[in-house]
Amino acid sequence: MTTPTANQKLLNWVDEVARLVKPAHVEWCDGSAAEYDRMVETMLKDGLATPLNHAKRPNSFLFRSDPSDVARVENRTYIASKSQDDAGPTNNWMDPDQLKLEMRALYDGCMAGRTLYVIPFSMGPVGSPIAKIGVEISDSPYVVANMHVMTRVGTRVLDVLGDKGEFVPCLHSVGKPLAPGESDNGQWPSAPLAHKYISHFPEERLIWSYGSGYGGNALLGKKCLALRIASVQARDEGWLAEHMLILKLTSPKGVVKFVCAAFPSACGKTNLAMLVPTIPGWKVETVGDDIAWMKFGADGQLYAINPEYGFFGVAPGTSKLSNPNAMAACETNTLFTNVALTSDGDVWWEGIGFDPPAGDVIDWKGKVWDKKEPAAHPNSRFTTPASQCPAIADEWQDPAGVPISAILFGGRRPSTIPLVHQARSWNHGVFLGSIVGSEVTAAALDLKAGTVRRDPFAMLPFCGYHMGDYFKHWIKIGEKAGAQLPKIFFVNWFRKTADGRWLWPGYGENSRVLKWIFEQCEGTGKFVETDIGIMPSVDDFDRPDSVSKEDLAELLKVDHEGWVKEIADVRAEHYPKFGDKMPKELWAELEGLEKRLAK
């Protein structure tokens, strides 16, 4: 078999894996449209894909995963650093030698009857100084097709890699070998939960995944490489790998600012990345909706790329009201997973904004929907090319990245946290990022309703090393950069009154908050200094007609009593988790805030 590379390290690794997993065939992916079509055709033949109505949803397909394989499996996700202390208290740790022993036993012969696909991919524009190359070995045509959409795949990546280039080896198997003559026969291939492993070896820059064919467990360029492994690379090399959107904000005068934002799940990250402003003359365009890699340019400023090539969006709740640009992006050339199928061959999900047409709706499990449970799985997805988003920015593939003026943190907080406030300094901004959290609803079984679930920097499931060291890395970035640093803000679209009424309409009206942030970066904003940070002046803030002056005053009020409770929770429940690795600078920020509020 001829191979499209002379990179001996890569060739040796592929040969070593093939001898272990024993596939029927080995195939090197070239990234072509014909290859993508062939993957889809293979899955149609195996009964794993359903073609959608071409007139309604051209070149789009529906997949249904096994009910046991519908989301990331955080309790089976490991950071196998040599020292357990390096993994820290927020990660599952396992001894790397023991983990490899267990996984090698599972990998032995696991690709029997299947094709081993070698998927060379670039996270970021091919050849960008900020990009990284990975190579995923997988036995799943679903993974190949999704990687085509989510990353830059193929021969051009191998050309940049060259004979001596470095890459991150990513090994994946669905964990379901086939006997001679056996096929999947329409059954999504995966292994039982006890045999699922999503394993990261940070010192070796190595990823091994077994037993799941779904999303972040199987598309190893996404959370595994772009966040867990890249966060370790970023620490070692002096840059940032973050769970952040990147948007381009243009004022009526044509002045441009680029903004990054980190929110926990279900806090509107994709909606903000593709926002349609309600203020005349302002424009928001999308650079990325999920991950940002930021490195310093020669001018000392942080430049960001979106390392991804597509969107892997959550379908439920996405509508023409909440995100018209996402809806337009997935009109064609889209892979849908675990959504419902309508009688006219289109897709449907809860929160899509309209009722399904007459006739039977087939739910995500392949049964006629009885309306007793959701028709689409709450974590159902669409995989669609970023280039199809009507709001995609011209700069989204600039290999140099875009200069970042502001970084936003946020969470779902019905009380205490105001609509927007700005950090007093870089370290104060790192403090705000370190205490990010969302209030738990009654639907969460593991925490009492009303408790704040802390998700620092929205990186809790994705930081590949000790989070105390991660906080320290952010502080060091500030010491390295000096005056060119982005300004840091905290936003909260989710304030409610005591009787549960929303105080802020959100969606396109969030552009009014972006406008104030823009003005702060320009040095033209109207603001007041408060105990918790810099805030808009109530009288000068661009208030929408739907929000009363009284409600705006409430949204921009410093809730002293609430902040005292917030500080007490951080001091007692949050910061102690990180032990002696908790940076003294953040303890100092906590104490400074405490003293200001006590005056």
For residue 19, the tally of other CB atoms under 10 A from its CB is 8
- Is-contact 403 297, C-beta < 8 A? yes
Those residues whose C-beta lies under 8 Å from the C-beta of residue 194, and which sit 6 or more positions away, are: none
- Return the amino acid letter for 522: E
Q: What is the DSSP letter of 570?
A: I
Which 3 state secondary structure label does DSSP give 95? Answer: coil
- Is-contact 27 117, C-beta < 8 A? yes
Provide DSSP, 185-199: TTPPP---GGG-EEE
- Is-contact 88 577, C-beta < 8 A? no
Active site members: 267
Say how many Å lie between the first and final Cα of the chain, rounded: 75
The Cα-based distances of 470 to 467, 522, 580 in angstroms read: 5, 30, 13
Q: How many residues comprise the chain? A: 599
Of 292, 301, 256, give the one whose Cα is nearest residue 273: 292
State how far the Cα of 549 lies from the Cα of 484, in Å rounded to an integer.
Answer: 36
Give 214's Cβ-side CA count (13 Å radius): 24
Those residues whose C-beta lies under 8 Å from the C-beta of residue 494, and which sit 6 or more positions away, are: 267, 411, 412, 413, 414, 502, 504, 506
State how far the Cα of 463 lies from the Cα of 172, in Å rounded to an integer.
Answer: 21
Exposure b/e, 560-573, CB count within 10 A at least 16 = b: eeebeebbebbeee
- Is-contact 365 380, C-beta < 8 A? no
Those residues whose C-beta lies under 8 Å from the C-beta of residue 164, and which sit 6 or more positions away, are: 7
